[in-house]
Amino acid sequence: MQPIKLAIVVGSVRSGRVGPTVAAWVRGVAEQRATIDVVDVDLADFRLPDSLVANDDTERFIRTIGACDAFVFVTPEYNHGIPGPLKNALDTVKYEWRAKPVGFVSYGGLGGGIRATEQLRQITAELHMVSVRDAVSLHRVRKRFDDEGGLDDAAAVDGLGRLLDQLEWWAVAVAGARAARDYPG
């Protein structure tokens, strides 16, 4: 079987952001699996207009999403919600998210981004995605990673492993289902 193409989506674009550090940790764990090919999707690399009027980056973003089988959204929590650019990116794509699995790695201050993850569960259901049950939440994120980007947190590593197991299961299942019959959405 071909490895699944797993997009790791960095949901923050803020200057001085922690997002790439968290995403690099997710990537390091995912890349240990021969069954996964990682695709980096950093929203800072795309200029997606708020107007939702398509530009060249919109087309490039839609093509990138369309080429992936599964997603991990790496998201901070801003004022108890997801970052605006992440919502805009979700709204920019219509069909290419559909019938694909998604998992969440959130981070923040005291809250660990749990509210951002719960918002994403609502939004991704509307987009016809399948969200996996297990998620990772990192509170006080700035104090968690060492200088090499390592994370000394067995529960988080365990949670990420289960998240990836579930994503892989769904990616294979829905790829077969999509090949057998058009998704009715």
Ligand X SMILES: Cc1cc2nc3c(=O)[nH]c(=O)nc-3n(C[C@H](O)[C@H](O)[C@H](O)COP(=O)(O)O)c2cc1C
Q: Which is nearer to ligand X, 12 or 58 (CB)?
A: 12
Q: Cβ 50 to ligand X, closest distance in Å?
A: 18
Q: Cβ 82 to ligand X, closest distance in Å?
A: 10
Element (H, E) at 167: helix 154-180
The count of C-alpha atoms lying within 13 angstroms of the C-alpha of 111, restricted to the half-sphere facing its C-beta, is: 16
Q: Longest C-alpha distance within the chain, in Å?
A: 48
Percentages of the chain per state (helix, strand, coil), in multiples of 5: 40, 20, 40
Q: Which is nearer to ligand X, 106 or 166 (CB)?
A: 106
**Residue 112, token pair as written in the block:** 């660990």
Q: Which amino acid is at 41?
A: V
Piece of 53-61, 75-83, 88-96, 153-161 that binds ligand X (CB under 6 A): 75-83
Q: Among residues 14, 47, 63, 94, which is the contact residue for ligand X, using CB under 6 A?
A: 14
Q: Which is nearer to ligand X, 17 or 33 (CB)?
A: 17
Residue 151, beta-bridge partner list: 145
Q: Among residues 6, 7, 8, 12, which is the contact residue for ligand X, using CB under 6 A?
A: 12
Q: Which is nearer to ligand X, 17 or 87 (CB)?
A: 17
Q: Any contact of residue 141 with ligand X (CB under 6 A)?
A: yes
Q: Cβ 93 to ligand X, closest distance in Å?
A: 21
Q: Which of 46, 134, 133, 25 is closest to 90 using CA atoms?
A: 46
Q: Cβ 169 to ligand X, closest distance in Å?
A: 29
Q: Any contact of residue 18 with ligand X (CB under 6 A)?
A: yes
CB atoms within 10 A of CB 50: 10
- Subset of residues 83 to 122 that bind ligand X, contact rule: CB under 6 A: 108-111
Please measure the distance between the N-terminal and C-terminal CA atoms of the chain and give it in whole angstroms. 27
Indicate the residue whose CB is closest to ligand X: 108
CB atoms within 10 A of CB 33: 16
Residues that bind ligand X (CB under 6 A): 12, 14, 17-19, 76-80, 108-111, 141-142
